[in-house]
Amino acid sequence: MNAKPVPSELLTPGADGRFGEFGGRFVPETLVPACEELERAFNEAWNDSIFRTELDDLLREYAGRPSILTECHNLGAQLGIRLILKREDLNHTGSHKINSVLGQALLAKRMGKKRIIAETGAGQHGVASATAAALLGLECKVYMGAVDVERQSLNVFRMKLLGATVEAANSGSRTLKDAVNEAMRDWVASVETSYYCIGSVMGPHPYPFMVRQFQSVIGKEARKQFREMCDGADPNVVVACVGGGSNAMGIFSGFVDAKTRLVGVEPAGGAAVGRGTPGVVHGMKSYLMQDEYGQVQEAHSISAGLDYPGVGPEHSYLASVGRAEYPSVNDQEVIEGFKLLARTEGIIPALECAHAVAWIAKEAPKIQGQTVLMNLSGRGDKDVAQMMTILSDELN
Amino acid sequence: MKIATHNPGALETRLRESRKLGRKILVPYITGGLAGWLDAIRGAAANGADAIEVGIPFSDPVMDGPIIQMASEKALRDGATPTSILHELRSVDVDVPLIVMCYYNTVFRAGHDRFANSLRESGVVAAIVPDLPLEESAQWAVAADKALIETVMLAAPTAPDERLPRVIDRARGFVYAVGLLGVTGERTELATTAVAMATRLKKITDMPVLVGVGVSNAEQAKQACSVADGVIQGASVVRRLLEDGADSVANYVAEVRAAIDSPVASKR
């Protein structure tokens, strides 16, 4: 496939908060002024060199940026490609989530908010939010689906250790989608004092745009680092997993104007772009897994972080104009991908990122000799307990 | 005070007439598809409701608290769909206007014109779409106006003064004053924001102003009506339907009716 570059100016939404037909601000009236206030505050902060310096300092001295590139010599040779990882797993708290959370928490303080609310799936965004709150002296409440509280108990404990309150969401499918609902209900009631720290490129405008901007540091660094490593060339393919899609948008943003193929890998049981239709939930118009009446369907994925029936609106836009593609892999392929990276490279990926590994392994015969840059957005420590159960027969 | 310039539809005409007669307006909310919901509508209509709001259950009701969430999940589990609810509504022969409350994805998925027409065909005269704020409402408003469906707009305590007239301009039927910062559900006391919100709105519009969200019993309804033209009662009605069935809804509506009809004892 010949990727069509999109001029970068296309990717700043206008006053209506749209990426093409997607995005917008579908929120209860109570929240409209808060979204408007946030939009103003973010634009002001983003253009303020003092804010940017403060954020850059935190990203460098606290989160550990820039994250490195690692070439996978063993797996690359095995697959017949040149495979390079962007190591977001090495950030403080173990994933890319810290990039956006530090930005949003600084912004919350700047706006005079004393408390932040967050939703979390696998717990990575919850841990990152609790971490930033501890660092910056903010109160923090994290909503997490009851199912996820169970399967990610380590992260629940981590959040509590960091001083956050964790509340299990017991409505609906009791996963990420319901955690978002509970966080929004909290926000409707506490909007004057609380800042809603959304974990992905989703929600009402300006969140998808703002979180993308905070995550764009991944793509900016990666483009430069890749060129240094590969004689000035850009990668043939950039791959990332997609749930809401913030790590993918972060790395895509650095290559959207290059002749690079952009691939967002969805879980087969939560393929919003691949199998969904346009819909409106959680404040945005985007692809959504839903029935004929618009009831949102429950996602099913081995990884809690991708267990979401929607996707960020900018991904829907990139898919609709053919700039990015969104294949899916099933849970079994993910388990194989998880083991593959561990055994060949000594790197245990988060189950979310194992989706990207799985797609690369499957696609390898078709992309022989090409350069592939994969965003390794999180480390797999949090998934080890779950995988111990799944792989118990095999590894005992 | 701004005088509305649009032609009032069936709902607004009815509410204005009631107001002219000095009658406070009572709008109970009932989750469509919940066991006994049709009888609850009939009971409410016969016991003093001026209009009835029927909720179409949605999988992700972000403006609703635990009671209405539970009712929505239950109705969905029992197989309720927008189509089945609107179909069954046709069989309800009551003498009060019917309003539908639904989340925007229900409208968007069906298509704006198709949904507006299906409301009309079921005898519904108005719609409340709580996650469709002014800025996103244009497409729906055009379709609704064309089908003679009055779109009720919500006015929230967080709105700055300059925003309220724009919301009111687009409102049809009545203006829904959001009584507090929060989702639907019963509270032990009426929030001070309820009367404050009604006061702000009454100062600038001649449209009927009804307070909803957090008006939890007869006493609170009476308090809200000291300024507002009426109230919407949701969770307190739905809880009774869930726990004790349709008859208890009829009794409760009669109780609230009596309270808001009784003369105000003293001005606070």
Residue B265 pLDDT > 60: no
Q: What is the pLDDT of residue A171?
A: 86
Q: Rounded to an integer, what distance in angstroms lies between the CA atom of residue B239 and that of residue B256?
A: 15
Among candidates B63, B106, B133 on the partner chain, residue whose Cβ is nearest the Cβ of A32: B133
The residue among B203 and B264 whose pLDDT is bigger is B203
The tokens describing A123, both together, are: 């717990």
For residue B147, report the phi and psi dihedrals to the nearest 5 degrees.
-90, 10
Q: At A213, which amino acid appears?
A: Q
ipTM: 0.95
Q: Among B12, B50, B60, B64, which one carries the catalytic annotation?
A: B64
The tokens describing A125, both together, are: 């965004």
The pLDDT tens digits for A78-137 are 999 999 999 999 999 999 999 999 999 999 999 999 999 999 988 999 999 999 999 999
- pLDDT cut 70: percent of chain B above it: 98
Question: Is B123 within 8 Å of chain A by CB?
Answer: no
Q: Assign A6 a pLDDT band (cuts: 50, 70, 90).
A: low
Are B3 and B206 a contacting pair, CB within 8 Å?
yes
The number of helices, as runs of H, and strands, as runs of E, in chain A is 16, 15
Residue B51 pLDDT > 90: yes
- Per-domain residue ranges for chain A? 8-59+97-207, 65-95+216-395
Residue contact B159–A293, C-beta within 8 A: no
Interface mutation vs chain A, best among B59, B68, B134, most A CBs within 10 Å? B59
For residue A258, the 8-state DSSP code is T
Q: What is the pLDDT of residue A394?
A: 83
Q: Rounded to an integer, what distance in angstroms lies between the CA atom of residue A45 and that of residue B258?
A: 55
Q: Rounded to an integer, what distance in angstroms lies between the CA atom of residue A162 and that of residue A140?
A: 9
- CA distances for A370 relative to A42, A74, A324, A329, angstroms: 39, 15, 18, 21
Under an 8 Å CB criterion, which residues of A touch B?
Answer: 16, 24-34, 171-172, 177-178, 181, 184-185, 188-192, 278-283, 285, 288, 290, 292-296
Cα–Cα nearest to B260, from B29, B18, B95, B10 = B18
Q: Rounded to an integer, what distance in angstroms lies between the CA atom of residue B50 and that of residue B221?
A: 14
The average pLDDT across A151-177 equals 92
Are A75 and A344 a contacting pair, CB within 8 Å?
yes
Fold of A65-95+216-395: Rossmann fold (3.40.50)
Q: Are strands B25-31 and B230-233 parallel, antiparallel or unpaired?
A: parallel
| CA-angle at B63, arms to B60 and B64, nearest 5° | 80
Among candidates A189, A190, A296 on the partner chain, residue whose Cβ is nearest the Cβ of B60: A296
Closest residue of chain B to A285, computed from CA coordinates? B105
Contacts with B138 from chain A: Cβ below 8 Å: none
The long-range contacts involving A149-154, CB below 8 angstroms and separated by at least 24 positions, are A151/A304, A151/A386, A152/A122, A152/A123, A152/A304, A152/A382, A152/A386, A153/A385, A154/A123, A154/A381, A154/A382, A154/A385
The model carries a pTM of 0.96
The neighbouring-strand residues paired with B101 are: B55, B128
Q: Assign B268 a pLDDT band (cuts: 50, 70, 90).
A: very low
Residue contact A26–B133, C-beta within 8 A: yes
Query: Among A188-192, B1-5, B190-194, which stretch is predicted with the lowest mean pLDDT?
Result: B1-5
Q: At B105, which amino acid appears?
A: N
Determine if the peptide bond prior to A66 is cis (ω within 30°): yes
Q: Among A35, A72, A197, A241, which one carries the catalytic annotation?
A: A72
Q: Share the mean pLDDT of chain B.
A: 96
- pLDDT cut 90: percent of chain A above it: 88
For residue A197, the 8-state DSSP code is -
Q: What is the CA radius of gyration of chain B?
A: 17
Q: Residues 6 or more apart from B191 whose CB is under 8 A from it?
A: B179, B180, B181, B214
Q: Which CATH architecture has domain B25-257?
A: Alpha-Beta Barrel (3.20)
Interface mutation vs chain B, best among A282, A295, A308, A316, most B CBs within 10 Å? A295
Q: What is the pLDDT of residue A173?
A: 83
Among candidates B110, B133, B153 on the partner chain, residue whose Cβ is nearest the Cβ of A25: B133
Q: Assign A18 a pLDDT band (cuts: 50, 70, 90).
A: very high
For residue B202, report the phi and psi dihedrals to the nearest 5 degrees.
-60, -30
The average pLDDT across A296-318 equals 92
- CA distances for A158 relative to A116, A125, A161, A164, A264, angstroms: 17, 12, 5, 9, 29
Residue A10 pLDDT > 70: no
Interface mutation vs chain A, best among B72, B76, B131, B153, most A CBs within 10 Å? B131
Q: Which strands make up the sheet holding A139-145, listed edge to edge?
A: A165-169, A139-145, A115-120, A194-196
The tokens describing B39, both together, are: 């009888």
Q: Assign A395 a pLDDT band (cuts: 50, 70, 90).
A: confident
Same fold: A8-59+97-207 with A65-95+216-395: yes
The tokens describing A105, both together, are: 């928490």
| CA-angle at B39, arms to B37 and B40, nearest 5° | 60
Residue contact B156–A29, C-beta within 8 A: yes
Q: Among B50, B53, B186, B229, which one carries the catalytic annotation?
A: B53
| B64 is annotated as an active-site residue | yes
Q: What is the pLDDT of residue B72?
A: 97
- pLDDT cut 70: percent of chain A above it: 97
Residue A9 pLDDT > 60: no
Question: Is B138 within 8 Å of chain A by CB?
Answer: no
CA A118 to centroid of chain Cα atoms: 14
The beta-strand segments (E) located in chain A are 18-19, 22-26, 69-71, 82-87, 115-120, 139-145, 165-169, 194-196, 237-241, 261-267, 277-281, 283-288, 324-325, 328-329, 371-376
- Per-domain residue ranges for chain B? 25-257
- CATH number at A8-59+97-207: 3.40.50.1100
Closest residue of chain A to B137, computed from CA coordinates? A26
Size of interface A-B (CB pairs under 8 A): 115
Residue contact B73–A181, C-beta within 8 A: no
Q: Rounded to an integer, what distance in angstroms lies between the CA atom of residue B14 and that of residue A329?
A: 57
Q: Assign B50 a pLDDT band (cuts: 50, 70, 90).
A: very high
Are A291 and A254 a contacting pair, CB within 8 Å?
no
Contacts with B73 from chain A: Cβ below 8 Å: 171-172
Residue B197 pLDDT > 50: yes
The pLDDT tens digits for B115-173 are 999 999 999 999 999 999 999 999 999 999 999 999 999 999 999 999 999 999 999 99
The average pLDDT across A220-231 equals 98
Q: Assign A297 a pLDDT band (cuts: 50, 70, 90).
A: very high
Interface mutation vs chain A, best among B78, B139, B158, most A CBs within 10 Å? B158
The pLDDT tens digits for B70-126 are 999 999 999 999 999 999 999 999 999 999 999 999 999 999 999 999 999 999 999
Q: Among A73, A92, A96, A282, which one carries the catalytic annotation?
A: A96
| A140 is annotated as an active-site residue | no
Q: Rounded to an integer, what distance in angstroms lies between the CA atom of residue A283 and that of residue A184?
A: 10
Among candidates B69, B109, B156 on the partner chain, residue whose Cβ is nearest the Cβ of A30: B156
Query: Among A12-21, A25-34, A230-239, which stretch is predicted with the lowest mean pLDDT?
Result: A12-21
Q: Are strands A283-288 and A22-26 parallel, antiparallel or unpaired?
A: antiparallel
Q: Assign A75 a pLDDT band (cuts: 50, 70, 90).
A: very high
Q: Are strands A328-329 and A261-267 parallel, antiparallel or unpaired?
A: parallel
Question: Is B131 within 8 Å of chain A by CB?
Answer: yes
Are A26 and B104 a contacting pair, CB within 8 Å?
yes
Q: Share the mean pLDDT of chain A.
A: 95
Contacts with A184 from chain B: Cβ below 8 Å: 62
Residue A358 pLDDT > 90: yes
N- to C-terminal Cα separation, chain B: 24
Q: Assign B267 a pLDDT band (cuts: 50, 70, 90).
A: very low
The average pLDDT across B238-245 equals 98
- CA distances for B141 relative to B55, B135, B145, angstroms: 19, 11, 6
